[in-house]
Amino acid sequence: MREIAISKSKEENLVLRLEGGRRLHNHDTVRHLSITNSSEDRETDVGELKTTVDMSRIRSLTVFGEWRPFFISDKMRLLRVLDLEDTEGVRNHHIKQIGELLHLRYLSLRGCMHIAYLPDSLGNLRQLETLDVKDTFILRLPKTITNLRKLKYLRASIDLNVNEGITEKLPELMRNRLCIFTAALLLLCLACTTSSIGMLDDEINTRDVCTLGCCSFLPSIAMLLDGNGVVAPRGLRRLTALHTLGVVDISWESSVLQDLKKLTQLRKLEVTGVNKKNSKKFLSALAALSCLESLSLISKGKPGLWGCLDAEEKFSPPKDLKSLKLHGNLIELPKWIGKLNNLVKLKLSETGLKDHDAAIQVLGKLRNLTILCLPHKSFHSLEGGELNFSEGSFKSLVVLELDFSGSKCVKFQQGAFHNLELLELSGYIEEVETKFSGLEFLPRIKEVQLHGYFYDVYEQAARRLKEDLLAQLSENPKKPILKTSGYF
């Protein structure tokens, strides 16, 4: 099908694929240009490109591999799509004039790790509908982004892990903001000096190093931002067409919470920085998002989400919420989760729930829950305890991802998981040998996946676990298969 699509696009002069090492032929009327360029291939020549392609007719540009500055021409005034996802070598100065592409509707810089900021000229793109700068080093969105009234999809994230990655490795006396900031500044100056005397890669110059440090690393340390989130400017409420927003750090700019209330068309929201100081305002904003279908909350570190999601009895979460992801220390499951009757997917990551029986009882009553992910550290510490899935619970669940590390027994009682088809088990096999029971009672199970890690001394325990699972599955009328990975 791929070859047929390429052939038809060539016949219709719809898409032109330029691959390094291949000579170009005249394509005057091409609308969509796709460039694949690598250091191993013969590089596309600037003169050859301009003479064979009428750049003024290009409406869409996609680049794979390595970036070359001449890929964007001043003649591309009617460009609507610019996709540079995972393109290597894109620098801040390459997108400085991005605001001149007034007809741009789609812009993706996802995975461009050398991009540390967006220029103010971004505000000129009044037709822009999609902006994806996820997995870059952009820490703060420009103020002019509030001019993009047609923007529907905004994704941005950065994972510096400043607090966890840097402070834990420093001596205790140096674990404060001033010391970390000073040390980072010295390292930045050293890096700039090193690049200026030619000790770094030729593609990385002093300007790139200094921009990356001054726009990302140093501000993140100075503000002590939580990992993943970016800072949004005031006035975000103007983006009334927005239906996807993530990941925004709400701990630094308090006005963002007031802006969130006005984004009534939001369907998907990802935020970080929820804490006890702003939790009430956040829950108030959350209650106002009546159209919200997907919510993701990220809060790393020891405090995490503990005590931040406790709401009053009258609090009403978005009734159409279908997907919920909570990442961070939670300790206790918020009571309002039991009200999410339309919830389809739930993931609890590093939540450290202490009362796992109470949590399982609440979740088991969610009538539309189809996918449940309980990965590593979802529970505080099982300490040889039991995970008991009682009769009549999880009636709609189809996929269960469960980390069994430290549990002595995992029981699937008869009458639970009536629709379960896929069971994904993972864990560290240590002194506590986990026993599973009731797999023969799962009426619709099709596949069980076992992903485990263990030291050589626990190899026999791992073998016994695998044999026990196979024995139970062999007694199941559906004859489900067992797939293993990891050290098995």
Is the Cβ–Cβ distance between 268 and 154 less than 8 Å? Answer: no
- 178 or 411, higher pLDDT: 411
Q: Residue 50: is its pLDDT beyond 80?
A: no
Percentage of the chain beyond pLDDT 70 is 77
Q: 162: pLDDT confidence band, cut at 50, 70 and 90?
A: very low
Q: 169: pLDDT confidence band, cut at 50, 70 and 90?
A: very low
Q: What is the dihedral of CA 228, 230, 231, 232, to 10 degrees?
A: -130
According to the model, what pLDDT value does residue 204 have?
52
Q: What is the tens place of the pLDDT at every residue in 330-345?
A: 999 999 999 999 999 9
Domains of the chain by start residue, with CATH: 2-156 (3.80.10.10), 162-223 (no CATH), 302-486 (3.80.10)
Q: Where are the beta strands (DSSP E) in 273-383?
A: 294-298, 323-327, 345-349, 371-374
Neighbours of 28 (CB within 10 A): 9
According to the model, what pLDDT value does residue 268 have?
98
Mean pLDDT for the stretch of residues 262-285: 95
Report how far residue 402's alpha carbon sits from residue 383's, in angstroms, rounded to the nearest whole number: 16
According to the model, what pLDDT value does residue 454 have?
84
Q: 167: pLDDT confidence band, cut at 50, 70 and 90?
A: very low
According to the model, what pLDDT value does residue 89 have?
92
Q: 358: pLDDT confidence band, cut at 50, 70 and 90?
A: very high
Q: 3: pLDDT confidence band, cut at 50, 70 and 90?
A: low
- 64 or 218, higher pLDDT: 64
Tokens of 221: 């340390």
Q: What is the tens place of the pLDDT at every residue in 430-455?
A: 877 899 999 999 999 999 999 988 88
Among the ranges given (112-126, 166-180, 423-437, 442-456), the one the predictor scored with the smallest mean pLDDT: 166-180
Q: 271: pLDDT confidence band, cut at 50, 70 and 90?
A: very high
Phi, psi of 278 (to 5 degrees): -110, 5
Q: Residue 153: is its pLDDT beyond 70?
A: yes
According to the model, what pLDDT value does residue 288 have?
95
Tokens of 344: 């389809």
Q: What is the tens place of the pLDDT at every residue in 288-326?
A: 999 999 999 999 877 899 999 998 888 999 999 999 999
Helices 255-262 and 279-288, axial angle in degrees (round to 10): 10
Give, for 82, the enclosing helix (H) or strand (E).
Answer: strand 81-83
Phi, psi of 193 (to 5 degrees): -65, -40
Is the Cβ–Cβ distance between 448 and 482 less than 8 Å? Answer: yes
Q: What is the tens place of the pLDDT at every residue in 181-236?
A: 455 556 656 655 554 444 444 455 555 555 555 554 555 444 555 558 899 999 99
| Distance (Å) of CA 27 to CA 12, 51, 73 | 11, 9, 16
Mean pLDDT of the chain: 84
Q: 165: pLDDT confidence band, cut at 50, 70 and 90?
A: very low
According to the model, what pLDDT value does residue 380 have?
84
- 291 or 97, higher pLDDT: 291
According to the model, what pLDDT value does residue 31 have?
86
Report how far residue 262's alpha carbon sits from residue 216's, in angstroms, rounded to the nearest whole number: 29
Percentage of the chain beyond pLDDT 90 is 60
Neighbours of 367 (CB within 10 A): 12
Highest-confidence segment of 43-47, 74-78, 96-100, 103-107: 103-107
- 16 or 104, higher pLDDT: 104
According to the model, what pLDDT value does residue 486 have?
84
CB neighbour list of residue 54: distance below 8 Å, 6 or more residues apart: 27, 28, 29, 30
Among the ranges given (56-65, 145-154, 177-186), the one the predictor scored with the smallest mean pLDDT: 177-186
According to the model, what pLDDT value does residue 160 have?
60
